[in-house]
Structure 1
Amino acid sequence: MKPSSTETTSVAGSQIAAPADADPIRWRILFVLLVTIFMTLVSVSIVNVALPSIRVGLGATESDLQWVLSGYALTFGVVLVAAGRAGDIMGRGGLFLIGVAIFTLSSVAAGLAPDAHSLNAARFVQGVGSGLLNPQGLGMIQHYFRGDARGKAFGYFGTTVGFSVAIGPVLGGLLIEFGGVDLGWRLTFLVNVPIGMLAIVLGLMWFPRPLILRLPRTGSGLRSLDPVGSLLLGLAVLAILFPFVESGGGAAVWLLLPAGLALVWLWVQWERRYVRLGLTPMVDLNIFSTRSYTNGITIMALYFMGVTSVWVLVALYVQEGDGKTALQSAAFGIPAALLSAYAAHWAGDRVGRLGRKLVIGGLLIALLGLTLSIGVVILFETGHVSIWWLMAPLALVGVAQGTVISPNQTLTLAEVPLDYAGSSGAIMQTGQRIGTAVGIALITAAVFATLAATSWAVAMVVGFGLIACVVVLALLVAIKDQRERMQQR
């Protein structure tokens, strides 16, 4: 299933030959993609810092604040795979720009929201825009880059992620400090507008023509979008995610979880029936027989299930456990984010040569960072060190992030056919979103349950220990994948 050296695929609604080795515009296209990814990720990390100001500025309730985060996550996860498949068929460039436009306009609506309900509505739409553009970005990287160049491109992708994570909380803190209680949080949304407009202008200048989407008009064309399959999978993701992002739904909301799994089963049956009818399904289920792909998405889901919770626990610990401010809390992640950016670039240049060994090494570094973090927490609670020493082991977690995420993306998508590049990448991102939601819900619940009976020190040891267990599972899958690759050779 490895792509040939020259392939033809639909870009922006037209059939354009994909260059095998060099395309003079591909680095410009990558720049547009990275600018937009930077915008969406900064937006997420800024919102985390802005929540207290939103509470004061809009008189928002705890439920309102929960949905500022959850609404975006839900719509983002629901539209991902369908948007990825639509891009494969109708053209990735056009859908990417539509997604950027929706995200930018909804950022304006969020920044001007008169009340909490309007803000949450804007966040729902923001999630749709982000869900539209993200799979197109991954698909376009696969289309325009091959071999070592693809590793470098994903390395730059990881570097952008690292910088955005580092800058987002600090920028949010500065904007809130500058704008005050009411204007400050609005600026955290409005800052997306110039970035989004720049991405749209550069995309119109540099993306291949034509940029008009080729909309399916015939019955067979519409069937190629697989609307029933898209609906089934979207409902399944919604049912699986909702119990984990809605903390106040009560016990009944967990009934959605088995319903979501049943919908996944129905979706698989529908996709198989679609193939038997001679039609093109939204996802080629044969890709799951490619071990590098299934191993890779499993590693990614487990990694996000564990390590994403690190930063949630650290923010809670240093603010509620030690009384630090939100801006001081953001500083704890800066060395980790910057090292993650550098490690992603470094690993991107070497993934073609080292392969899955990079991911294994990164996961081992993550385990070392978590173990040392537990040691620092214990030493701090016994009065031997300052809490600021926690930045050192967290920096190792940052190095791990750079050497796991970008190389794993490259290796996971290496053997995926370009005709399904968007939907396959979207499935990987959906796994990340589900892993993140499940991990944060379960690990923070365990930490708060422990905190109710003991101290912050014990609760953090429990939290970091659970994260380490999940990382060990990811490590075992990575070792399994490496052995299978060696057997194939």
Structure 2
Amino acid sequence: MVIASPAVRGSSPVRWLPLPVVLVAVFVTTLDFFIANVAIPAIRADLAAGPAATQLVFGGYGLAYAAGLIISGRLGDLYGPRRVFLIGLALFTLASLAAGTAPDILMLIAARVVQGSAAALLAPQVLTLIGALYPGAHRARAFGWYGTATGLAGVSGQVVGGLLMAADLGGLGWRAVFLINLPIGLAALVMARFVLPETPRRRDGRALDLPGAVLVAAGLVAIVLPLVQGPELGWPAWTWLLLGLAVPLLAAFVARQRALAQPLLDLRVFGERGFALGLVAVALLFGGSAGLSFVLAIYLQDGLGLGPLAAGMVFTALNAGFFVASLRRGRPVAGALAIAAGLAVLHQVLPTGSPYLVAGALGLAGAGMGMLMSPLISAVLAGVPRERSGAAAGVLGTVQETGGVLGGTLTGTVFLAAAGHGTPDWTSGARTALLVLVVFAVVVSVVVVRLKAVSSTAVEVK
């Protein structure tokens, strides 16, 4: 049973029933990227895993997510976004069960890769469904809620993970951070079958461009995998070889897309006003969020000696700031500047060792994220024509996840290197890493100002 499309129901509230269902999927899959950070120390101890392997618990998810997004957008075009969404949600739920019951680190990494692949199936379908079901001004409002859900998930990983670890439900320990997805996923699956309407497929006669899919996935893996594993392994020769291969692989993908009459990725989407520029800000924003989560997960626990729950409570300031500020949308420039200011204040208060001052700085940075996230996502997507929404969704999701993995890896590498070995100075390491994040936020501010100047989308960046 499916209801008729909300897009044709006029002003009926029924039109909004699909939105919370797809946003739950967005929230859970985004949260899962960050929530593993708080569990890393426990996973390392329980499964006797080394640093390189535990890094893949975090990086393997993001790597699979980023590599699969563009092809997933095309799968939605071919088979319908509702069908691919349901398959992705079911696969994500099963993979979460596998991660939560993994007997060793290799099985956990494998489950996380499947989780990331399933999340990749979901993400473009959510954006395509929103674009199809909510026309006109409703579309901007729906994209705004999408940005809020994504941002809130990004800043909630530490809090939710800390609460689950402290609760130790049924003696599950770190496994609860993955098993919590089971009831949520099953409930969302049931609801989705009833409230998600069918949307028209693009019957353009195109088959899936498998060579193009292989090229883009291989190119992304060749970039992300060495950057995730290289610092831990001492940059062996294979990491440099892969990084060198990334350029010809992605160049071959672009050349193939330009040559095909019916490409996997419609490159014209990059010509939409404000789209490519907005992607720069999205990449830096998600990269900074991932980096901040990684740095503080270690600093608060190993540096200040806080437990997972206490560390999570400090992080609630970031969530609170985000939530309150997200209720007052339309201030992206002020939001970007508030992020930079909050991170700069955090850099200054870390030597005090006061969790309260850290929380205050996080509250300011979180408020900036709340002001920025929704209008930025809306501005990036709202001007894309419906016929290119699948391509835009795939590109946006790829940039989000790749930016998160690369930003988190870069910040983490700087953090660990600055902290030193033997007896690490976590405060010094965190302050150095925060300088990188401040630079990210300043660049985002510049890009958002420029985006405001050039944007002529239906959703005005005010």
Q: TM-score, normalised by structure 2?
A: 0.89
Which stretch has the larger CA shift, 124-133 or 241-250?
A: 241-250
Deviation sequence 1:102-143 (CA, Å, 0-9, x none) = 001111222222222222221111111111001111111122
What are the within-5 Å matches in structure 2 for residues 46-195 of structure 1? 46-161=35-150, 163-165=152-154, 168-179=157-168, 183-195=172-184
What are the within-5 Å matches in structure 2 for residues 416-431 of structure 1? 416-431=384-399
Deviation sequence 1:244-280 (CA, Å, 0-9, x none) = 22243423203322311221111111011102xxxx2
Distance in 2 separating the partners of 1:156 and 1:35: 11
Distance in 2 separating the partners of 1:73 and 1:346: 30
Candidates 412, 435, 459, aligned match of 2:429: 459
The answer on 1:44 being equivalent to 2:46 is no
Is the 8 Å Cα contact of residues 59 and 405 (structure 2) preserved in structure 1? no
CA gap 1:167/1:274 in 2 versus in 1, 3 angstroms: closer
What are the within-5 Å matches in structure 2 for residues 225-236 of structure 1? 225-236=208-219
Which stretch has the larger CA shift, 226-235 or 95-104?
A: 226-235
**Aligned-residue offset at 1:228:** 1.9
Coordinate RMSD, CA, aligned: 3.0
Candidates 337, 340, 345, aligned match of 1:367: 340
Is the 8 Å Cα contact of residues 339 and 368 (structure 2) preserved in structure 1? yes
**Aligned-residue offset at 1:449:** 2.8
Is the 8 Å Cα contact of residues 83 and 423 (structure 1) preserved in structure 2? no
Which stretch has the larger CA shift, 66-75 or 446-455?
A: 446-455
Candidates 213, 229, 249, aligned match of 1:246: 229
Deviation sequence 1:150-171 (CA, Å, 0-9, x none) = 3322332344345545654444
Secondary structure in structure 1 of the residue aligned to 2:274: helix
Is the 8 Å Cα contact of residues 77 and 201 (structure 2) preserved in structure 1? no
Name 1:262's counterpart in structure 2.
248
Is the 8 Å Cα contact of residues 166 and 338 (structure 1) preserved in structure 2? no
Bigger Rg over Cα: 1
The answer on 1:207 being equivalent to 2:196 is yes
CA gap 1:307/1:162 in 2 versus in 1, 3 angstroms: closer
Secondary structure in structure 1 of the residue aligned to 2:420: helix
CA gap 1:166/1:372 in 2 versus in 1, 3 angstroms: closer
CA gap 1:479/1:163 in 2 versus in 1, 3 angstroms: closer
CA gap 1:63/1:419 in 2 versus in 1, 3 angstroms: same
Secondary structure in structure 2 of the residue aligned to 1:281: coil
Candidates 443, 455, 459, aligned match of 1:473: 443
Candidates 433, 453, 456, aligned match of 1:483: 453
Secondary structure in structure 2 of the residue aligned to 1:324: coil
Task: Give the partner amino acid of 2:23.
Answer: L
**Aligned-residue offset at 1:469:** 1.5
Distance in 2 separating the partners of 1:166 and 1:274: 40
Distance in 2 separating the partners of 1:428 and 1:415: 13
Is the 8 Å Cα contact of residues 160 and 341 (structure 1) preserved in structure 2? no
**Aligned-residue offset at 1:42:** 3.6
Is the 8 Å Cα contact of residues 170 and 331 (structure 1) preserved in structure 2? yes
Which stretch has the larger CA shift, 51-60 or 429-438?
A: 51-60
CA gap 1:265/1:194 in 2 versus in 1, 3 angstroms: same
Is the 8 Å Cα contact of residues 57 and 181 (structure 1) preserved in structure 2? no
Is the 8 Å Cα contact of residues 301 and 311 (structure 2) preserved in structure 1? yes
Secondary structure in structure 2 of the residue aligned to 1:282: coil
Name 1:318's counterpart in structure 2.
300
Name 1:274's counterpart in structure 2.
260
Is the 8 Å Cα contact of residues 344 and 406 (structure 1) preserved in structure 2? yes
Name 1:442's counterpart in structure 2.
410
Secondary structure in structure 2 of the residue aligned to 1:291: coil
Secondary structure in structure 2 of the residue aligned to 1:332: helix
Identity of aligned residues (%): 33
What residue ranges of structure 2 are gaps of 5+ in the alignment? none
What are the within-5 Å matches in structure 2 for residues 286-297 of structure 1? 286-297=268-279
What are the within-5 Å matches in structure 2 for residues 347-366 of structure 1? 347=329, 351=330, 358-366=331-339
CA gap 1:182/1:61 in 2 versus in 1, 3 angstroms: farther
Secondary structure in structure 1 of the residue aligned to 2:384: coil
Secondary structure in structure 1 of the residue aligned to 2:23: helix
Is the 8 Å Cα contact of residues 79 and 131 (structure 1) preserved in structure 2? yes
Distance in 1 separating the partners of 2:295 and 2:161: 19
CA gap 1:469/1:215 in 2 versus in 1, 3 angstroms: closer
Task: Give the partner amino acid of 2:344.
Answer: T
Distance in 2 separating the partners of 1:309 and 1:403: 20
**Aligned-residue offset at 1:25:** 4.0
Is the 8 Å Cα contact of residues 93 and 181 (structure 2) preserved in structure 1? yes
Which stretch has the larger CA shift, 143-152 or 389-398?
A: 143-152
Distance in 2 separating the partners of 1:476 and 1:141: 29
Is the 8 Å Cα contact of residues 295 and 430 (structure 2) preserved in structure 1? yes
Secondary structure in structure 2 of the residue aligned to 1:97: helix
The answer on 1:432 being equivalent to 2:415 is no
CA gap 1:477/1:158 in 2 versus in 1, 3 angstroms: closer
Distance in 2 separating the partners of 1:75 and 1:46: 17
Distance in 2 separating the partners of 1:28 and 1:176: 33
Name 1:396's counterpart in structure 2.
364
Is the 8 Å Cα contact of residues 151 and 373 (structure 2) preserved in structure 1? no
Distance in 2 separating the partners of 1:204 and 1:180: 30
Q: TM-score, normalised by structure 1?
A: 0.84
CA gap 1:224/1:50 in 2 versus in 1, 3 angstroms: same
**Aligned-residue offset at 1:339:** 2.4
Candidates 334, 345, 365, aligned match of 2:316: 334
